[in-house]
Amino acid sequence: MSRDQHRIAVDGGVEFPVPRDGETWAVGAVIVNGDGRAFAQRRGPDRRLFPDCWDIVGGHVEPGESLLEALAREVAEETGWRPRRIRRLLGVTTWTGDDGVTRHEADYLVEVDGDLDRPALEWPEHTAHAWFGPEDLPRLKENRGPGEYLVHDLIARVLSDRPRA
């Protein structure tokens, strides 16, 4: 584990599953700003999975990488921010993409350090970003079919049941 991961506080009871051999895992971070709004970014229109859809920060766990290491790497790569604290595990889901690969995904509520007004998006993988409040939740369903509301549902739950510092 790198020095950066040692600086990340992890609240008590937060679990990090350990991938079994042959399993494909992904991690996701729901990031909420001081105004109580959640960050999402729009996936590029040429992405294989979920093109032109809103998504939380995250991605695949690389071989030999822990979920915490993957979470820290993905937050830094996709936003330029640094995870400061992992507040809670929001859930683990299993889903199969239209590429036929079954993935396990662990999503976390994450506090970050950095300029929240200026995320360093990975262009063209992501083409836009926004901070979502309860009134903006319907936008998270854009370009998603029924049953594909994981991002919407995660953010809606966090916004309605946000832990206080």
- What is the CATH classification number for the domain harbouring 152? 3.90.79.10
CA 18 to chain centre: 18
3-state secondary structure of 119: coil
3-state secondary structure of 153: helix
Half-sphere exposure of residue 17, counting CA atoms within 13 Å on the CB side?
20
Residue 76: inside a domain: yes
Residue 165: inside a domain: no
- pLDDT tens-place string over residues 80-138: 999 999 999 999 999 998 889 999 999 999 999 999 999 999 889 999 999 999 999 99
Domain count, the chain: 1
Share of the chain above pLDDT 70, in %: 94
Strand order in the sheet with 54-55: 54-55, 38-43, 126-132
Residue 39: inside a domain: yes
* CA terminus-to-terminus distance, the chain: 27
- pLDDT tens-place string over residues 28-80: 999 999 999 999 999 999 998 899 999 999 999 999 999 999 999 999 999 99
Q: Where are the beta strands (DSSP E) in the chain?
A: 9-10, 24-31, 38-43, 54-55, 57-60, 82-96, 102-113, 126-132
Tell me which residue range forms the domain holding 43: 3-160
pTM over 0.85: yes
Which among 139, 129, 19, 137 is positioned nearest to 81, based on CA atoms? Answer: 129
